Amino acid sequence: MSQKPEFVPITSSVSFYALQDDKFKSNRISIHFVLPLREETVSAYALVPMILSKGYRECPDFLSLSRKLESLYGGWIDAAIKKYGDLQILTLSAGGMDNTFALTGEDITGELCDMLCNAVFDPVLDENGYFPETTFRLEQQNLLDAIASMINDKRFYSVHRTVQEMYRGNAVGLNEYGTEEAVRALTPEKVTEAYRRMLAEAKVMIQFCGCGAPAPVREKMAARFADFRQAGSVAAAPLPDIDGREAQRITERLEVAQSKLVLGLRITPDYREKHTALRLMTMILGGTPSSLLFKQVREKQSLCYYCAARYYPSLGMITIDSGVEHEKAARAEAAILEQLSNMQKGRFTDREFEEARLAAINSYRTLGDALSSIDEYYWGRIMEGEIRTPEDMIALLSGVTRDDVIEAANQVTVDTVFLLTGQEGSK
């Protein structure tokens, strides 16, 4: 079974978490900068890790950086922008094959750690101390393309739009990349300023995960982050209260062959912390091929290829989404609502309850088998503020009763019904 990550504070605002497991063949190091998610700063912050991950003073362009990484057996440096409630998280990470497998004895992990730190602390700046115009323009376009391309994946786009509409007017509903207009209005000066603010104000969490020894990485990080002592703490604010309003209905039209129907369910504010019951309820409703939605909406009524429910603890919501024929969208919605109502009335069998619990336990047990999933799992726990192991989660799941699940189902309400459908009159 997987052990708990070792936690070592580097300074008052920098924490280091290490998980070593020698069954893996690689290592990954992530530096997370946690900042408030705000409309006025979201786009400038989003661009920062994208620029930093493309080169630093010793490796000033993407060509030299890529060649160095390829020579390190396909090592990588990556940027990610995520949100957690009303927080924006900028992540720079590096990873690659462990030193043990190097053909000529290279210190791959040490090199990658240095490269990652250089990307954070030693970026390429022009004579005025700003990110160079050319790098800025390329990454600005990259970010614009990323925002525009969200529409390519219609399922993802529809769920994203549902979240946005549920929390319209609130930081939680913001896209972690910001908007096209905001990205267009950026300049190298504004983004460099955001970079400096990130270094000055962010809370920093560093994660190491892999088969290599964490100590050398921790020492390098301790030296580079020694001066980081940001005052105050950055923690997600309670989610906004959207309780009590009428369900809203949003329809968007595109030339699509299949409609995407998404139901956004809000959770009663006082109940949002009951993660385990909510998670299990979502699994029974639509988390597995044995769930009510899969069995009834897909298998019995043949209305769709997929119909699934997903729980988003950091957003205090659940989504149910399905891809259906345009003219059957209303039938699918009615069928989904019927299953939700069945959950609320306790109309699910003991077997369905137990199978969902077993499926959840199985997925927790399997987490430790992949570096990326265990890394991502502990990242979620770090953000929640309590480092629970997968075994702790299994113990919690084991304590959930049918009544807890029925109670959880009665704490959710349809808030938003989003439909992406074809042009009027289209088949």
Partner 1 sequence: MKQTIVKNPRIGEQYYEIEHDSGLKVLCYPMERFQSAYALFGTRYGSIDRIFRDDPVKGFKTVPDGIAHYLEHKLFESEEGDAFGLFAKYGASANAFTSFDRTAYLFSCTEHFGDCLRALLNFVQSPYFTEENVEKERGIIGQEIRMYDDDPSWQVFFRLLGALYHTHPVKIDIAGTVDSIAKITPELLYDCYRSFYSLDQMALAIAGRFSVEEALSIVDELCLPKPPHFLEREVVKEPSSIVSAYASRSLDVALPLFQIGWKEPPCEGVDGLKAETEIMLLLSCMFGEGSKFYNDLRDDGLITAGLDLDAMWGRGYFLSMVGGESKDPKEVARRVAAQIARQKETGVEEADFQRVRRLLYGRAVLSFSRVSDVANSLLTSSFCDTGLFDRLEIIAAVTREDLIRRLKTSFLPERMALSAIYPKGKS
Residues contacting residue 210 through CB under 8 Å, at least 6 positions apart: 19, 20, 21, 24, 26, 27, 28, 95, 98, 109, 371
Residues 120, 408: Cα–Cα separation, whole Å = 43
Query: Minimum Å distance from CB 105 to partner 1?
Result: 13
C-beta closer to partner 1: residue 73 or 312: 73
Q: How far is the CB of 185 from partner 1 (least distance, A)?
A: 19
DSSP states along 155-203: HHHHHHHHHHHHTTTSGGGS-TT--HHHHHT--HHHHHHHHHHHHHH-E
Select 86 or 139, whichever has its Cβ closest to partner 1: 139
Nearer to partner 1, 27 or 118 (CB): 27
CB-wise, 12 or 64, nearer to partner 1? 64
Q: Which residues pair with 36 in a beta bridge?
A: 87
Structural contact between residues 421 and 36, judged by C-beta atoms closer than 8 angstroms: no
Residues 130, 79: Cα–Cα separation, whole Å = 20
Spatial strand order of the sheet with 259-267 comes to 248-253, 412-421, 259-267, 317-324, 304-312
Total residues found in the chain within this entry: 427
Closer CB to partner 1, 116 or 239, in the complex: 116
Residue partners of 215: CB distance under 8 A and separation at least 6: none
Taking the complex as a whole, the smallest distance from the CB of residue 258 to partner 1 amounts, in Å, to 4
| Rounded CA separation 266/154 (Å) | 22
Q: Which is nearer to partner 1, 362 or 401 (CB)?
A: 362
d(CA 286, CA 115): 43
We find the least distance from the C-beta atom of residue 302 to partner 1, in angstroms, to be: 3
Residues making contact with partner 1 (CB under 8 A): 1, 22-26, 61-63, 66-67, 69-75, 96-97, 101, 103, 134, 138, 141-142, 145-146, 148-155, 254-258, 288-290, 294, 298-299, 302-306, 323-325, 351, 354-355, 357-359, 361-363, 365-366, 368-371
Minimum Å gap between C-beta 275 and partner 1 is 20
Please report how close the Cβ of residue 169 comes to partner 1 at its closest, in angstroms.
25
CB of 119 to partner 1, least distance (A): 15
Please give the Cα distance from 356 to 138 (Å, whole number): 46
| Residue 117 CB-density burial (10 A; 0-12 exposed, 13-18 middle, 19+ buried) | buried
Q: Which is nearer to partner 1, 22 or 243 (CB)?
A: 22
Nearest approach in angstroms of CB 323 to partner 1 is 5
- Shortest CB 104 distance to partner 1, Å: 9
Q: Quick check: 143 and 183 in contact, CB under 8 A?
A: yes
Least distance (Å) from partner 1 to the CB of residue 411? 26
Instruction: Give the nearer residue to partner 1 in terms of CB position, either 131 or 294.
Output: 294
Please say whether the beta carbons of 291 and 283 come within 8 A: yes
Q: For residues 9 and 74, which CB has a smaller minimum distance to partner 1 in the complex?
A: 74
Between residues 366 and 401, which has the closer beta carbon with respect to partner 1? 366
Q: Which is nearer to partner 1, 159 or 304 (CB)?
A: 304
Nearest-angstrom CA–CA distance, 304 and 74: 40
Contact (CB, 8 A) for 65 and 101? no
CB of 291 to partner 1, least distance (A): 9
Burial class (CB in 10 A: 0-12, 13-18, 19+), 200: exposed
CB 191 within 8 A of CB 126: no
